Structure 1
Amino acid sequence: MMKRFAILLTMGTITLLGGCGGPDAPEAELEAYINEWKEGNYSSMYTHFTSETKSAMTEEQFVKQYKNIMTDIEMDKLEVGLPSEEDVKEDNEKTVRLPFEVEMETIAGPVSFQKEAVMKLEETEEGEEWLIDWDPSFLLPNYAEGDKVRIQALEAERGQIFDRNGSSLAVNGTAVQIGVNAGAIDEAGKEALAKVLGSKKGFIDEQLSQSWVQDGYFVPLKTVASSNEALIQKATAVTGATTSSKAVRVYPYGASAAHLTGYTGEINAEELKENEGYAQGDQIGKRGLEQLFEEQLKETDGVQLFIEKEKGEPVVIAKKEPQNGQDVKVTINAEMQKLLFEQYGGTAGTASAVEPKTGEVLALVSSPSFDPNEFAMGVSGERYTALQDNPKQPLLNRFAAAYSPGSTMKPITASVAMKAKKLNPSEGKTITGLQWQKDSSWGNYRVTRVSESSAPVTLKSALVASDNIYFAMAALETGADQLKTGLQSFGFGTDYPFAYPLRDSQVSNSGEFESDILLADTGYGQGEVLTTMTHLANAYGAFLNSGSIMNPLLKLDDEPSVWQKELVTTDQAAIIKEGLRGVVERGTAQAANIEGMAVSGKTGTAEIKAEQGTTGKENGLFVSYDMNNPAFVLAFLVEDAANEGGSKLAVDKTSAFYVKWKLRNK
């Protein structure tokens, strides 16, 4: 019967004696050896070996070889089941056999085996002693002299990201590493290769001078897409240059979805401190969905520990299976994302599309952009600096930013005022002239509208004409407290419940309306009110979804749920929708009056001022949907559009999108 013996940090008292003044019992000698093993004292382990064992290797050889192996396999939690007296098998007076069991943890998981120790009674300087006829199988099963212990990494795959239709947003692929065989390229070859790669000879020399490089080793210099056949062909034409394949993350939609997908890169020192389960050289999500869903996407490599036999097949003694990351499916429609991005043509701006009945976010566009594949393959410092210094700011994620909504705010102001019973939508307001102020306390400040009215202004006519004065009056009549509360019910000044981190919308910088002028300006979307395009598109869902705004969704398997409800009545929503259709039929968005569709929406020109009473840069906006098929609300913003007609540019680009989208979905 084996007795389970958990090895202690200090040698236990050995009580089994062969007799007074005689050698220790063989069981005690084996126990002493095991204690030395646990303590990592390989020199002392060697003292327990027979003379025959010692003749086959020196103490130095034993310590160097086997201590390194145990360290490399990360041996831990060693437990040994030692024999009891009845387990001892005696061959003769000087030879006994002691069965024992070993359990340990290793880098590849638990290892357990049974072993029979042959103990021999030998004469030593100290007198007779029981010594171990040792061989490598005392340390690991099936391990014999001449064999090699191998540790093999079993690579797992990172989870992939797909859109709602199964199109690939971020997948695992391969790229080509262009490099050189050390010792096979001359100085002229280095010059030629550096020119092809857009690098410098000094860089190639630096890579070849690394401590690990030996003649014949492949030294990578640049990773490129496998589709870049022309560059690969030019590079490999240089004597000494060659290629190798490399696993990389691939982003099929490139720049059109770069700010959405983000990219992966090698983990840095700071990230190593903040994240458990990573090692130097591992890949980690750096931005976008890759970073947001890192926990689900992250793979865990496996490892196997095996004996490479000098003769015979390898023997696996422990194996930790690789665990692939989980795939993520998002609500995004990648083709819509791409088509919207293309409408910008490099112009700065952002767009978002949201399904009003479910809250599913179909597009998150930021322009201009960058190619995430460059980053996944390893962007050079020079290239990164160029992107960073680009005045168009392609690295800036605009869909996460909040903007002044301009006149696209007016339907929301009207909804709040109607719910507060401060606005009768069918009752006309008599407004004269192009400018208006509440009273003389405003000094020189006045609200300005684009055109005069020939009749009392109703809500519908105010939406069509985009009458700033009408909505400034509505905000003042609603009052600061009720307008603030009403805007909060639309999500302004609250946490926006979206999985992707966006800036929260605000009613003002302080969260309060500190003056009547600020209150009035907010009514028509100026002042200090800010919103993301996603929130704005989501908010318009209230007019199409029985007065409710849905929680915005990013993961496709999330269940739709209501975020805010009872914002407008059915009758109030109908009036607003008629006004929004009128904007396209006879108002400021007539370019969007597309045959076969009933596009409805609200334009906006948001002036970005340093302070009230001054002029500034203008952004053009258009929030719209097809009344015949309101499958999504699209909020489209173009930055710095004053010289391009303000909101007209947003309308033109949105219209071009609708025409192409309609053709694509016939």
Structure 2
Amino acid sequence: MAKPIRIKDHLNEAGIVQRRIILAVLFILLLSGGLLARMFWLQVVQYEHHSTLSENNRVHVQPIPPSRGRIYDRNGVVLAENRPSFSLNITRERVPDLDATVALVKELLELGDEDIEQLKRRLDQRRRPFEAVPVMFNLTEDQIARIAVNQFRLPGIEVQASFVRHYPQAEHFAHAVGYVGRINEREMERIDRVAYAGTHYIGKTGVERFYEDLLHGKVGYEEVETNARGRVLRVLKRTEPESGKDLTLHLDSRLQAVAEEALGARRGAIVAIEPQTGGVLAYVSQPSFDPNLFVTGISHKDYGALRDSIDQPLFNRVLRGLYPPGSTIKQIVALAGLEYGVTTRTARVYDPGFYQLPNNSHKYRNWNRYGDGWVDMKLAMARSNDTYFYDLAHKLGIDRMHEFMSQFGLGSRVSLDMFEESAGLMPSREWKRASRRQPWYPGETLITGIGQGYMLATPLQLAHSTALIANRGVWKRPRLLAHADGVAPQETDTPPDVKLKNPDDWDFIIDTMEEVMHGERGTSRAAALGAPYRIAGKTGTAQVVAIAQGARYDSAALQERHRDHALYVGFAPADDPKIAVAVMVENGESGGRVAAPVARTLFDAWLLPEPDPEPEEDAPAEEDAAP
């Protein structure tokens, strides 16, 4: 039986098509709505974010390092400046093969293995990949030309002109001014990287380090538009850097030269201070070194020569040299005796050439083994009589000596802006018990009274304690900085002034120091001969090696470096002090014969007018000339 033919339902099919069209339209509308919502999200809600990302693809911020502040002496002589120099910079993110590029640079510039090793160390510093890292400095014209010709083979490498620190005075102010050097890994961790963006140098020692914040300045920025290869197309915005402040120091180049010439080739230290301000006028640590060697990186050979030298040119004797002060502290011991009432100005002690403690057979010898007979305080100072000061130290005791002498800065850091300073040592019972686990013995009190034994001081501390006497007890911390762009530094944590029960004792002690220089029996009378002003001073000799009981000091039998140190402290004019000086000559043996004449040279240079230059003789007339 044939199947019935199904009649086509046009109405039903039209409904199906219509429903499908509606679903398709809804789907398209849904997709369109999602697309519009996404576009709204990207272009409206997150406009700032994506705009910044887009800009960063073509706009880069480049730091502009500030110009480092210059350093001058009190008369405007340049001690530290900035000189133009050409350096080779590598931007790591633009170098496709760093090892191959370094090898090519080695070949082009004919560098040695040591140079390449140093170059790689600089590249290893933690810098951002897009920051240019200077890897070579002071390029020659030939090296610059070779890089320029082969620039197409060296992507990411460029030669850049910049300023490099230079010290025109070289070794003359190396220990005072210090030097800058490349920022190392340890420094990179503690500095503000934003503040030092684009900067590769930082103060390492001396004034350069202490006043780094003032000298560094404030970094600037430059917004530049670049193409896909990183080449700068144009500058969009520029914020100028702020240069570091220029510093003016109390140091005087002329006096420094006089001091160095007076010291000559001998090892030692000289410090000259202006008592009224505490300003350091001369600062000599001999031998010295050229700080320019350290600025862009010193070679292994040069550093080894400085480090291994027996004369230790890198050692700052002014701040870190610890020496027994010897007799240069006797005027302070004498003041202590008057202050505590254990002696008087006229009390006398008999000197047979030695001193003995009660019930003790040991003889503490005087430098004059024959003795000076009966001596009072003034004669004891003039003769630097050890026996008198052994007796005075015994009467005072170590507790009172430590209490009084500490007021003069002995055993503590005294400077305002010299962070490398050692504290020295003013011994006490407590110190020995803590450090040696031993009791204090009476004999140790005696030798402390003549500046020997455990007692140690730096030349700066000796100069300061002398300036404190010149100021009649008014404290002025020694400082190098006079002002920064006209602004003087603020003194902080100044110890209290030294107050005496009888203020007239200051004048008496100064009189005794004048007796050392001008008295008939003064130990430094020769150094003061002909001076048109009065000098107050004290000589000293400090043992380097001990001498056996009863033995004589024999200079010829000792190695040169085992001989006594020569010391001197003093100020002038005695009635109106303008300059206080401490001189230490290593192994110089005699403070009166060696150190005091050096100080006299400084006194004359500072207090007396400079001699007029001798007029040049006119050339003889032609008819008067010799045939």
Common fold by TM > 0.5? yes
Counterpart of 2:523 in structure 1 is 588
Q: Describe the SS at the equivalent of 1:450.
A: coil
Counterpart of 1:261 in structure 2 is 177
The within-5 A match list for 1:222-621 is 223=138, 246-277=162-193, 278=196, 282-307=200-225, 316-401=235-320, 402-431=322-351, 433-441=352-360, 443-450=361-368, 452=370, 456-496=374-414, 498-501=416-419, 502-508=421-427, 511=431, 514-556=440-482, 557-559=488-490, 563-567=496-500, 569-585=502-518, 586=520, 587-593=522-528, 594-609=530-545, 616-621=562-567
Counterpart of 1:622 in structure 2 is 568
TM-score after normalising by structure 1? 0.68
Q: Distance in 2 between matches of 1:205 and 1:331?
A: 42
* Equivalent position amino acid for 2:588 in 1: A
* Equivalent position amino acid for 2:172 in 1: S
Unaligned 5+ segments in structure 2 are 1-25, 90-101, 124-133, 149-158, 433-438, 483-487, 554-561, 612-627
The CA deviation at 1:546 is 2.8
Identical counterparts, % of pairs: 26
Q: Distance in 1 between matches of 2:548 and 2:39?
A: 89
Q: Deviations over 1:452-508 (max 9, x none)?
A: 566531111111101011111111111222112111222233453533131113222
Does the 8 Å CA contact 1:603/1:621 hold for their aligned counterparts?
yes
* Equivalent position amino acid for 1:140 in 2: E
Q: Distance in 2 between matches of 1:240 and 1:417?
A: 76
- With over 3 angstroms needed to count, the CA separation of the structure-2 counterparts of 1:591 and 1:236, relative to structure 1, is farther
Does the 8 Å CA contact 2:354/2:363 hold for their aligned counterparts?
no
Q: Distance in 2 between matches of 1:445 and 1:451?
A: 11
Say whether 1:650 aligns with 2:595. Answer: yes
* Equivalent position amino acid for 1:634 in 2: V
Counterpart of 1:174 in structure 2 is 84
Does the 8 Å CA contact 1:411/1:576 hold for their aligned counterparts?
yes
Q: Deviations over 1:496-521 (max 9, x none)?
A: 35331311132227635811111111
The alignment covers a number of residue pairs equal to 520
- With over 3 angstroms needed to count, the CA separation of the structure-2 counterparts of 1:545 and 1:150, relative to structure 1, is closer
- With over 3 angstroms needed to count, the CA separation of the structure-2 counterparts of 1:210 and 1:539, relative to structure 1, is closer
- With over 3 angstroms needed to count, the CA separation of the structure-2 counterparts of 1:303 and 1:411, relative to structure 1, is same
Among residues 622, 637, 641, which one is paired with 2:588 in the alignment? 641
Q: Describe the SS at the equivalent of 2:272.
A: strand
Say whether 1:29 aligns with 2:29. Answer: no
* Equivalent position amino acid for 2:204 in 1: K
Q: Describe the SS at the equivalent of 1:430.
A: strand
Q: Distance in 2 between matches of 1:455 and 1:407?
A: 19
Unaligned 5+ segments in structure 1 are 1-16, 35-79, 83-100, 105-110, 113-137, 195-199, 213-218, 225-231
The CA deviation at 1:303 is 2.3
- With over 3 angstroms needed to count, the CA separation of the structure-2 counterparts of 1:620 and 1:31, relative to structure 1, is farther
Does the 8 Å CA contact 2:255/2:605 hold for their aligned counterparts?
no
Q: Distance in 1 between matches of 2:63 and 2:293?
A: 27
- With over 3 angstroms needed to count, the CA separation of the structure-2 counterparts of 1:655 and 1:603, relative to structure 1, is same
* Equivalent position amino acid for 2:600 in 1: S
The CA deviation at 1:184 is 12
Say whether 1:161 aligns with 2:71. Answer: yes
236-245 vs 462-471, greater mean Cα deviation? 236-245
Q: Distance in 2 between matches of 1:421 and 1:347?
A: 42
The CA deviation at 1:139 is 2.5
Counterpart of 2:15 in structure 1 is none
- With over 3 angstroms needed to count, the CA separation of the structure-2 counterparts of 1:186 and 1:454, relative to structure 1, is closer
Q: Distance in 2 between matches of 1:289 and 1:413?
A: 34
Does the 8 Å CA contact 1:253/1:338 hold for their aligned counterparts?
no
Q: Describe the SS at the equivalent of 1:427.
A: coil
* Equivalent position amino acid for 2:450 in 1: Y
Does the 8 Å CA contact 1:309/1:315 hold for their aligned counterparts?
no
The CA deviation at 1:544 is 2.2
- With over 3 angstroms needed to count, the CA separation of the structure-2 counterparts of 1:186 and 1:573, relative to structure 1, is closer
628-637 vs 336-345, greater mean Cα deviation? 336-345
Instruction: Pick the structure with more strand per residue.
Output: 1
- With over 3 angstroms needed to count, the CA separation of the structure-2 counterparts of 1:280 and 1:256, relative to structure 1, is same
Does the 8 Å CA contact 1:169/1:251 hold for their aligned counterparts?
yes
Counterpart of 2:55 in structure 1 is 140
The CA deviation at 1:378 is 2.8
Q: Distance in 1 between matches of 2:207 and 2:122?
A: 37
Q: Describe the SS at the equivalent of 2:375.
A: coil
Q: Distance in 2 between matches of 1:271 and 1:211?
A: 14
Q: Describe the SS at the equivalent of 2:223.
A: strand
Does the 8 Å CA contact 1:416/1:567 hold for their aligned counterparts?
no
Counterpart of 1:117 in structure 2 is none
156-165 vs 257-266, greater mean Cα deviation? 156-165
Q: Distance in 2 between matches of 1:531 and 1:476?
A: 21
Does the 8 Å CA contact 1:159/1:298 hold for their aligned counterparts?
yes
Q: Describe the SS at the equivalent of 2:509.
A: helix
The CA deviation at 1:390 is 0.8
| Structure possessing the higher relative contact order (Cα contacts under 8 Å, 6 or more residues apart) | 2
* Equivalent position amino acid for 1:481 in 2: D
The CA deviation at 1:418 is 0.8
Q: Deviations over 1:377-419 (max 9, x none)?
A: 4321110001111111001111112221111010010011111
* Equivalent position amino acid for 2:304 in 1: T
Does the 8 Å CA contact 2:466/2:571 hold for their aligned counterparts?
no
Instruction: Pick the structure with more helix per residue.
Output: 2
Counterpart of 1:69 in structure 2 is none
Q: Deviations over 1:14-41 (max 9, x none)?
A: xxx999535026652324446xxxxxxx
Q: Distance in 2 between matches of 1:380 and 1:415?
A: 52
